[in-house]
Amino acid sequence: MEELLERLLEECRPATGQGRVADYIPELAKGNPEALGVYVIGSEGKHSWAGDCRQKFTIQSVVKPILLLQALLDNGPDLVQKRVGVEATGKPFDAINAGERALDSGHINPMVNMGAIVMCTLIRGGSYEERFQRLLGLTRQLAGDNEIGVDEAVYQSEKSHGSKNRALAYLLKSNGLLEDSVEEVLDCYFRACSIQVDCRALAHIGAVLSNRGRLPVSNERVFPAPLARYVNAILMTCGMYDGSGEFAIRVGVPAKSGVAGGIMAVVPTRMGIGIYAPALDQKGNSLGGIQLLEQLSKALYLSIF
Ligand code: GLN
């Protein structure tokens, strides 16, 4: 496995040069566009890796499935689905998803910003500080790393350059989809996006989702199996935004991307994969990361289709 990962990494390295590091959050512009790392955790607990896999970066939208999971654990699927739908939007992650009709909860899903912002309001807790701490606790458990924390510089950068997300949140509020204070909810969302991870952490989260809610090796249950089905299904159809269809053809497994360059992929019953390659394509997905996953999927027959 290590040899395969090393070979694919070298093959895919040139692709990173075709992408661009996100700069709409100024702090993210510091990412090294040539970095490329991969980490795999198999269902029996074997770890394999190559490249820049211990480099730290912010989780960004890869936190969305964890926000969804926490909301599902706290409220159950019926209530969550009433508040945020499950259909692909076919639009970019930060699209203003309202046309002539009023914004409808069925027109957003938990993998786009509007849906993830609503998820913050569905986490139980007496304050937004407590809600965020519960989310961080779940992230640490899923990632198998108790040291995980927030990258303060990215958090401040997101908060002070978050006009688009503020617009999305106010639109949700004016359409009755968000009751709490916009600033408090967004603070939780910005901090969630700024949680610092590496490829190993993403692979571990993917391994728990692939293992239907159980930790690798110990088999300890973190969440019930039906919730894994809920989250994995939405990752398959919406996890790569308006690139989800093409990703389903090229790679064929549930996955979630983030604008810092991370991808978390779930190969049901087989493995979790964590990728880091900050140069992105036009849809905000890691360009080298997708190419690496495509090659890995071909080599190991990972596609579920
Ligand atoms: N924090 C980012 C934002 O809200 C997350 C987007 C992403 O990773 N696609 O814009």
CATH number for 126? 3.40.710.10
In 3D space, the residue among 207, 199, 197, 222 whose CA is nearest the CA of residue 266 turns out to be 207
The answer, yes or no, to whether any atom of ligand 1 lies below 6 A from the CB of 189, is: no
Has this prediction a pTM greater than 0.75? yes
Question: In testing the pocket of ligand 1, which one of 193, 194, 196 has its CB within 8 Å of the most ligand atoms?
Answer: 193
Instruction: Indicate whether 79 and 18 sit together in one domain.
Output: no
**Beta-bridge mates of residue 265:** 255, 273
93 with 242, same domain: the answer is no
Query: In this structure, are 53 and 201 located in the same domain?
Result: yes
* Inter-helix orientation angle 199-210/225-238, to 10°: 120
- Ordered per-residue pLDDT tens for the chain, 305 residues: 999 999 999 999 998 989 999 999 999 999 999 999 999 999 889 999 999 999 999 999 999 999 999 999 999 999 999 999 999 988 889 988 766 566 888 889 999 999 999 999 999 999 999 999 999 999 999 999 999 999 999 999 999 999 999 999 999 999 999 999 999 999 999 999 999 999 999 999 999 999 999 999 999 999 999 999 999 999 999 999 999 999 999 999 999 999 999 999 999 999 999 999 999 999 999 999 999 999 999 999 999 99
Are 223 and 271 contained in the same domain?
A: yes
Question: 40: CA distance to ligand 1 center in Å?
Answer: 24
Whole-angstrom distance, CA of residue 305 vs CA of residue 239: 17
304 part of a folded domain: no
Could you tell me the distance, in angstroms and rounded to a whole number, from the CA of residue 22 to the centre of ligand 1? 10
Q: Are 214 and 204 in contact (CB under 8 A)?
A: no
